[in-house]
Amino acid sequence: MQLPVRISLTFLAVLLVACATGGPPSSTESSDRKDVRARSERKQLDFRLASGTYRCELGQSVEVERHVPGDRAIEVRWEGKQHTLQRQASSSGLPRYEDRQNGLLWIDLPWKSVLMDAHSGRPLANECKPAASRTASG
The pLDDT value given to residue 23 = 44
Interval 74-123: pLDDT, tens: 999 999 999 999 999 888 888 899 999 999 999 988 889 999 999 999 99
| pTM to 2 decimal places | 0.64
CA distance 48 to 70: 10
Task: Tally Cβ neighbours within 10 Å of residue 93.
Answer: 16
